Amino acid sequence: MLLQAAFMEIHRMGYQAASLQNILKNTGLTKGALYHHFPNKKSLGYAVLDEIIRGILITEWVDPLQGTKNPIDALIKTIKDVSKKLTQEDIELGCPLNNLAQEMSPIDPVFCEKISTIYTEWREAIEQALEQGKTNNTVKKDVHSQQVAIVFTATLEGCMGMAKNAQSMELLLHCGQGLITLLDTLRPNTQQENEI
């Protein structure tokens, strides 16, 4: 409950503007209870990143790739599934991981390292799935899996950033469709028709 309330406050306000008072108000906890678990705001922020934000990313973007024989289908399905769940508030607030990366990476080395670790975990999961796809003949043999993983995550995060700036679900969906079109080019044979 505390971490979820802290996550919501950080996602709405940014880490630096997040108010411990608002977090306490939303949980009904006292300052003493908060400081019993987290000695300072930074330790709370790190826990939100490690447990909530990483958990969301793993559940939505990494887990669907585990054991898949066709990573292109899995990635496309994930894009479609996530896009169906997005709300206007999600667009307004943006990606919580990307928000923290932009805000905190330049000024806090621990945030920077933790965020980098999460991005690396995500990219490596995509890379490994693509390599498995090559073995299963669902991905072209000449695909450079590491590069595709980098482009995929960077494009997706860029899509979220542009949609946040424009406050536009439509922009995000167009960007997602472009990413699906790109993924379809990685198939060894015929392209599959995919639309969000």
- CATH value at residue 169: 1.10.357.10
Domain assignment present for residue 38? The answer is: no
Residue 182: pLDDT band by 50, 70, 90 thresholds?
Answer: very high
Domain assignment present for residue 66? The answer is: yes
Domain assignment present for residue 92? The answer is: yes
Residue 194: phi, psi to the nearest 5? Answer: -135, 130
Torsion of CA 7, 10, 12, 13, to 10 degrees: 170
Domain assignment present for residue 35? The answer is: no
d(Cα 38, Cα 32) in Å, to the nearest integer? Answer: 10
Q: Would you tell me how many other CB atoms lie within 10 Å of the CB of residue 80?
A: 15
Domain assignment present for residue 120? The answer is: yes
Domain assignment present for residue 54? The answer is: yes
pLDDT per residue over 98-119, tens digit each?
Answer: 999 999 999 999 999 999 999 9
Domain assignment present for residue 102? The answer is: yes
Write the CA distances from 12 to 81, 93, 99, integer angstroms. Answer: 23, 6, 10
Q: Domain residues for 123?
A: 50-184
Q: How many domains does the chain have?
A: 1
Segments in 15-53 forming alpha helices (H):
20-27, 31-37, 41-47
Domain assignment present for residue 165? The answer is: yes
pLDDT per residue over 38-82, tens digit each?
Answer: 999 999 999 999 999 999 999 999 999 999 999 999 999 999 999
Q: Could you tell me which residues come within 8 angstroms of residue 74 by beta carbon, excluding any fewer than 6 positions away? A: 64, 65, 68, 129
